[in-house]
Every structure is written in structure tokens, then in C-alpha cells.
């Protein structure tokens, strides 16, 4: 059944687990992710970016997720707007069946210019009031996602923003977080701790200087009752880099967020873990592999079936390691 983010994360907090939020754009991603959730007996968050909504269309996305829920009646599913950029985006998502929205007021509407605190509070509070009036949940974000190695803010598409940011903007401040949650009434709070979107997060295996998990611990200590969200949480595992590069890909060596660091976050209040890049790599790795190994092949299902299997295996692993498994 479709449920709200609030219902789902309240249960996760009560039982001390985290829930992966996987991005979806098409049927095959939906089938693979929800099949893995059913196998793990886990609740799941399916999130659609503005790009996903324009790719698939709002009507298609809603019907697809309703179909996935009908096919898997025991699995709680939340349909969430990822990185809403204004009130209009959030309200049109709710109108199209989304049970939860993210108002990302850490950036201005263009989703690349860092915003000031007063703008963020005002726009997030406005979305909360409107969403709560119709029973939907709200995720806010405080602190700008971006690299502590380069000082670059992370745009939604994994590219960098203009200008350099300092650590005070790239790391969420616990006292400001307390004020933000109280004033905006958001149901979940996305924090910044040095992660960014896309495959190129870190140039080396991250330590505490570039992946600031201690900030999450400080926020959780200050706000023990708030559901925290980690964006940019793909692990960019070596086996997927090898799959892609072994089949003719040319991805330079890179490092993501180690799963054990996410597990540490979950022990300190992280309840929603956003993952898109790993899912993309799992699928496209097999597109490349099939194209390389069987150049005579032209049936798209022969590409999509192994891609879905790899994606489902990745999802099952995250359900197990985040403690989501068994909680449907």
C-alpha cells in the first residue's frame, strides 16, 4: 500500500533501522526495486526527481507505482518528490499521487545557487503547511550538499555550482537545524556532511575530513526525535566500476560513501538514505556487457533482464545492511 514518509520513518525510528530511497524513472527500475523489497520483506521509498517526472510523465509514474503496490500488497511504499524546487513542483506532485515531497530550499529555484537561511525557512514552512493540510509529508534540507575536498556545491545532476563554499555552508549546524525543524515543521531533515550527487564524490576512500559523519552524530544528539536524511549516498562500489569499465566503459576511478558509514549514520538518526547513482551503474553496466558480448543481440529485454537482476541484488543488499529487511 502507498503510505506517507512520516508513517514510514516513524516506524523506522521506533525500530532503529534506515530505509533506502531509490530513484525511479521507468518500469524496469520499479519492478526490480519493489521485487527486492518483497524478497527482503522491507518497506521502500520510491522517489522521482523533476527530471523523472518529465521523462516518464506524472500519469505514468502514478499508475506505475500504483501497479507496483497492487502487485506487492504487503509492501509499504512511499512515493516521494526528490528535490522539489518550489511550492508549485511540490503541490503538483501531491496532486499526482505523491505521498511525500522534498522542498529543497538549500538552493534557489534554479537548484544551483545556494540560498540564504531565511529563504529556506520561509519556503519550507509554506510547503509544510500546504502539504500537511492534505496529508502529505515534507522533507526539508539544511546545509548545501557538496565536496569538502573542492568546496564545490553539488547540483542535482552531479555537476558543480558557481563559486566556492566554505565548511560552514557545506556542513549542517546542529543549533540551526533545531531552529529550522521547529520553524518549518518538516517531517524529515536532509543534512549536509560532505556527500554530493553522482559518481564522483571523493578522489580517495573517504575519511572523517571529507565525509563528516561526526556532524550527523552532533545533529542527532541535539535533535534525537528528528528523522535525518542522507543524500548522495551511493557507494559507487568497485565491482560496478569494474563491470562498466570491463565492458568498454571509461569511468575514471572514484569513491562513494562506504555502506559501513551509512550504517553508522543509521545508528545516529539517519532514517532515509538516497541512492540513484548505484542503481544507474548496476543497470547500464549490463547494457554494456550484453552489447559487448553479444553484438548480434537486438531484443531490449535481453539487455533489461540482467540489468534488473543486478539492480535487485544491489537493493536487497541495502535492505539487509540498513536493517530494513523484515519490517514490511
Which residues are known to be catalytic?
82
Q: Which residues contact 116 (CB under 8 A, 6 or more apart)?
A: none
* 231 interacts with ligand 13P by CB under 6 A: yes
Are 37 and 65 in contact, with CB atoms under 8 Å apart? Answer: no
* 235 interacts with ligand G3H by CB under 6 A: no
Of 38 and 64, the one with the shorter C-beta distance to ligand G3H is 64
Applying CB under 5 A, among 82, 152, 261, 276 the residue interacting with Na ion is 82
Site mask for ligand G3H (CB under 6 A), range 60-99, x = bound: ----------------------xx----------------
Are 288 and 244 in contact, with CB atoms under 8 Å apart? Answer: yes
**Among the residue ranges 63-71, 119-127, 271-279, 295-303, the one whose residues contact ligand 13P (CB under 6 A):** 271-279
Q: Give the CA angle between residues 311, 273, 53 to the nearest 5°.
A: 70
Are 198 and 158 in contact, with CB atoms under 8 Å apart? Answer: yes
**Among the residue ranges 79-87, 93-101, 105-113, 281-289, the one whose residues contact Na ion (CB under 5 A):** 79-87
Task: Say whether 123 sits in a helix, a strand or coil.
Answer: helix
Of 46 and 69, the one with the shorter C-beta distance to ligand 13P is 46
The grid coordinates listed for 51 are 527530471
Closest separation in Å from C-beta 121 to ligand 13P: 21
Closest separation in Å from C-beta 196 to ligand 13P: 8
Of 38 and 120, the one with the shorter C-beta distance to ligand G3H is 120
Of 11 and 50, the one with the shorter C-beta distance to ligand G3H is 50
* 280 interacts with Zn ion by CB under 5 A: no
Q: Which does 261 bind (CB under 5 to 8 A by kind): Zn ion, Na ion, ligand G3H, none?
A: none
Query: To the nearest 10°, the Cα dihedral for 324, 215, 275, 291?
Result: -130
* 272 interacts with Zn ion by CB under 5 A: no
* 102 interacts with Na ion by CB under 5 A: yes
DSSP states of 161-187: PSS---HHHHB--HHHHHHHHHHH--S
Closest by CA to 25, choosing from 68, 57, 59, is: 57
Report the distance separating Cα 247 and Cα 290, nearest Å: 9
Are 288 and 237 in contact, with CB atoms under 8 Å apart? Answer: no
Closest separation in Å from C-beta 142 to Zn ion: 13
Closest separation in Å from C-beta 106 to ligand G3H: 12
Q: Give the CA angle between residues 192, 189, 140 to the nearest 5°.
A: 95
**First-to-last CA distance in the chain?**
10
Instruction: List residues binding ligand G3H (CB under 6 A).
Output: 23, 49, 51-52, 82-83, 156-157, 197, 276
Instruction: List residues binding ligand 13P (CB under 6 A).
Output: 23, 82-83, 197-198, 231-234, 274-277
Amino acid at each position: 500500500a502507498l503510505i506517507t514518509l512520516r508513517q514510514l520513518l516513524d516506524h523506522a525510528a521506533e525500530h532503529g533501522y534506515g530505509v533506502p530511497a531509490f530513484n525511479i524513472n521507468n518500469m524496469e527500475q520499479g519492478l526490480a526495486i519493489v521485487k527486492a523489497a518483497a524478497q527482503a520483506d522491507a518497506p521502500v521509498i520510491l522517489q522521482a526527481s523533476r527530471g523523472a517526472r518529465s521523462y516518464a510523465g506524472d500519469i505514468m509514474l502514478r499508475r506505475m507505482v500504483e501497479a507496483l503496490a497492487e502487485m506487492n500488497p504487503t509492501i509499504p511504499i512511499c512515493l516521494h518528490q526528490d528535490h522539489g524546487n518550489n511550492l508549485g513542483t511540490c503541490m503538483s506532485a501531491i496532486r499526482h499521487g505523491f505521498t511525500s515531497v522534498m522542498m529543497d530550499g538549500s538552493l534557489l529555484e534554479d537548484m544551483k545557487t545556494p540560498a540564504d537561511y531565511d529563504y529556506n525557512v520561509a519556503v519550507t514552512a509554506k510547503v509544510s503547511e500546504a502539504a500537511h493540510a492534505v496529508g502529505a509529508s515534507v522533507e526539508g534540507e539544511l546545509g548545501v550538499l557538496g565536496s569538502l575536498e573542492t568546496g564545490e556545491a553539488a547540483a542535482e545532476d552531479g555537476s558543480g555550482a558557481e563559486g566556492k563554499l566554505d565548511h560552514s555552508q557545506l556542513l549542517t549546524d546542529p543549533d540551526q537545524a533545531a531552529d529550522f525543524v521547529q520553524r518549518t515543521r518538516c517531517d524529515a531533515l536532509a543534512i549536509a556532511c560532505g556527500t554530493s550527487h553522482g559518481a564522483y564524490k571523493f578522489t580517495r576512500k573517504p575519511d572523517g575530513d571529507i565525509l563528516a559523519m561526526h556532524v550527523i552524530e552532533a545533529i542527532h544528539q541535539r535533535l534525537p526525535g528528528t528523522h535525518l536524511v542522507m543524500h548522495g549516498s551511493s557507494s559507487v562500489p568497485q565491482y560496478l566500476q569494474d563491470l562498466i569499465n570491463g565492458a568498454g566503459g571509461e569511468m575514471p576511478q572514484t569513491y562513494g560513501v562506504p555502506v559501513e558509514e551509512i550504517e553508522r549514520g543509521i545508528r545516529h538518526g539517519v532514517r532515509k538514505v538516497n541512492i540513484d547513482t548505484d542503481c544507474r551503474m548496476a543497470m547500464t553496466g549490463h547494457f554494456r556487457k550484453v552489447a559487448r558480448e553479444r553484438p548480434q543481440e537486438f531484443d531490449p529485454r535481453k539487455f533489461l533482464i540482467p540489468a534488473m537482476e543486478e539492480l535487485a541484488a544491489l537493493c536487497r543488499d541495502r535492505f539487509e545492511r540498513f536493517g530494513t529487511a523484515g519490517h514490511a
